[in-house]
Amino acid sequence: MLIQSDERMETRETTSFMVGVIEGFYGQPWTMAERFELFGWMARWGLNTYLYAPKDDLNHRALWRQLYSPSEAKTLGQLIEACQQSQIRFIYALSPGLDIRYSNEDELDHLKKRFEQMNGLGCQHFSLFFDDIPDGLETEDTGRLGSLASAQCHVANSLFKWILGSCPDARFLFCPTAYCGRMADGKLGGEGYLATIGRELLREIDIFWTGPEIISREITVNHVQALREVLRRKPLIWDNLHANDYDGHRFFCGPYSGRAPELRAEVSGLMCNPNTEFPLNYVPLRTLAEFARCRGAWDARAAYLAAIQEWLPYFETVGRQVTLEDLICFGDCYYLPYEEGPEGRSLYASARSLLAQNPSEWGDQAALFQARAARLRDFCVRLSELRQRPLFYALNRRLWELREELDLLDRYVRMKSENPSPGILGSSDFHLPGTYRGGIVAGLQGLLVQQANGGFAPTHAA
């Protein structure tokens, strides 16, 4: 196992290269204590940029015209000061795209007042988001500005020029409506949307991009080089690899992967939009930091194992202690969106193989699977005794769900081992209809089955 420490890590200068964290998910924003802990991680690991953009901060998106109250402003000022003390670039983002009237100068005044308030709190870097919005224009805006892309460039360019008057060194970021390859291929934003953005948006403005998909398994050098021709600048990667706001059943604590170190030379930065639950982001952000400054080939698995070992002290309990091997196995069950870690894959494969056989032929395989499942189930139980309660609360629902499935499999295997007759169905008094996998969401999920090609078919036709 490769173990690295802060003292042994090789570094490279990335003074203008942005690498860091986006608080940009849908869901409850992080607490101040969590953000301060984040800044401590970032300062130790060499991450240099924090972007404040929680979708459910009402003043960020739904009430973008409204100034923060004095108490809210004070809180944001404390965040900005904490970043400055840790030499972290603080960037504030606004997302006005849901209802902005692009050709109305009063709207631009609202944006200026919002950024002026933030500048008064010490913020010098800003971002404008036009993601996840309707991709049409009002008739008046179309008549005056032509297209959605031109309208957005008009607002962003005007705002950026104004900001430079008080913040001459400002970094200004722009999130387009079509922010991944699939959206661009589908002509989201209209015909030639990205080409217009690349042509009309001032060159000093960075443009966010998530890769081929919203959650991209890989972001290749070739993909980014082709995009650079359209955007006429290096894109800034908004990386959703570890985001989980779209799936509350999962979180992702696998390593930063699917990106080659050569990608760093083709982009203006790498910004991670991670798990909604802050305590679950140690490994994702630790390995991002390692990736940003690694030399030579990138070994994502080795970085994961090293980061998991560093994360282990957070799992101190009041009872029997968590082992590194058990934590690795658990982490492998919540690895990355498109893959589980080796231990997780192995556990699933052993269960699937077992259930595909006649129970009369199981032999020792059943006992081996039950032993593995029991160990992981016991690990889930032990985590209820974590001293760091926020970590336990972030994990709790996932732990319970995993325990339930392991318990059901164990009961089924035990019952069929004792009576392998095909006419006998497995049963469990603890997994009853309605209380287990119940509710309307579970019912709706059972109506359509996803096929191997990504399409869907009704359950009865699958």
Query: Is 132 one of the annotated active-site residues of the chain?
Result: yes
User: 3-state class of 284 per DSSP?
Assistant: helix
Cα–Cα distance, 147 to 461 (Å, whole number): 43
8 A C-beta contact, residue 134 and residue 186: no
| Contact by Cβ (8 Å): 269, 19 | yes
In angstroms, the Cα distances linking 61 to 53, 86, 132, 338 are: 9, 28, 11, 30
CA angle 441, 444, 448 (to 5 degrees): 140
- Give kind and range of the element (H or E) at residue 62: none
| Residues forming a β-bridge with 129 | 175
Q: How far apart are CA 140 and CA 99, in angstroms?
A: 14
Question: What are all long-range contacts of 192-199, with beta carbons under 8 Å and residues at least 24 apart?
Answer: 192/147, 192/149, 193/135, 193/147, 193/148, 193/149, 194/149, 194/230, 194/231, 195/230, 196/147, 196/149, 196/150, 196/153, 197/149, 197/152, 197/153, 197/231, 198/230, 198/231, 198/232, 198/233, 199/232
Q: Give alpha helix (H) positions in 121-217.
A: 139-145, 148-164, 181-185, 193-200
- What is the spatial distance between Cα 325 and Cα 378, in angstroms, rounded to a whole number? 13
> CA neighbours within 13 Å on the CB side: how many for 156?
31
Pick the catalytic residue from 6, 132, 245, 429. Answer: 132
Supply the residues annotated as catalytic. Answer: 132
